[in-house]
Amino acid sequence: MRIAFIGDIVGAPGRKMIEEHLKKIRAEYGVDFVIANYENASHGFGLTLKNANELVACGIDVMSGGNHTWDKKDILPLFETHELLRPHNYPQGVPGTGCKVYEVAGEKLAVLNLMGHYSMPFTDNAFRCATESVEALHEQGIKNIFIDFHAEATSEKRALMMLLQGKVSAIVGTHTHVGTDDLQIASSTGYLSDIGLSGCRDNVIGMDEKVPLKQFLTGMKGHFEIPKKCKKILQIVLFDFEEGACTFGLKLKVFDDGRVIKTEAWKD
């Protein structure tokens, strides 16, 4: 099977790039299943019903969340009506789930959404949750497992890779909005510390630079806004899974000026 993953979709610019390019990418690269992180999709904070439907119509099969999952009140009923995840290591009793299994290209694919600890909201231990969840999936005979690890620290993301390499098909980090240059396949597990945002690329993590600069210069906080006009990017990674092993990885950076930069995973 060939899956694709899109990291943090930041507001209307990110949704626009997905609308313009995702169906073409699915067709050109023979993508069987698309996962995307929704937590910044609605004006940078959370997800509305309108934007959820818009993204599904663009060709996204399931969406994962993070620390902004709960920012929009629309989110609660969406766990019942849409293929939506939230970090699986939220405490028991929190609405929704962070792990679902799908039929893809004649095989089963598990999608697991986790959230890290450094500078993040309180959750249960992500590493114990990951270990228990993966063991439970293996007991069910599910080999193809993809993890979106929504975390601030690259050390946490790398540590999860060292914990689970050879046991899951791929781990990709989200949250920082800044893409890393370490796409690789090691012990049959695909890995990327952070895929980077899809949205505005000429400001501060997809947001207008005025408020972040004021905060850095003076310590005074404000409400982040997404620019009405900006240069845009879509960042998407493709993986091939065979019997649980990742055999191929490719990241595409699609720019609104027509450029496409391709980076193939190195193998160890």
**Could you read off the pLDDT of 49-86 as tens digits, one per residue?**
999 999 999 999 999 999 999 999 889 999 999 999 99
140-157 per-position pLDDT tens digit: 999 999 999 999 999 999
pTM as predicted: 0.96
178-235 per-position pLDDT tens digit: 999 999 999 999 999 999 999 999 999 999 999 999 999 999 989 899 998 999 999 9
Domain ranges in the chain are 2-267
| Structure-token match 């299994």, residue found | 101
Residue in 156, 141, 60 with CA at minimum distance from that of residue 108: 141
CATH number of 2-267: 3.60.21.10
172 alpha-carbon distance from chain centroid: 7
Phi, psi of 91 (to 5 degrees): -60, 160
- 68 a catalytic residue: yes
Residue in 235, 231, 207 with CA at minimum distance from that of residue 221: 207
The single-letter DSSP state of residue 73 is T
Phi, psi of 118 (to 5 degrees): -60, 120
Beta partners for residue 171, in sequence order: 147, 191
The pair of structure tokens assigned to 79 is: 């766990």
pLDDT class of 5 with cuts at 50, 70, 90: very high
Q: What angle do CA 19, 23, 29 make, to 5 degrees?
A: 140
Of the listed 21, 43, 68, 82, which one is catalytic? 68
The single-letter DSSP state of residue 223 is -
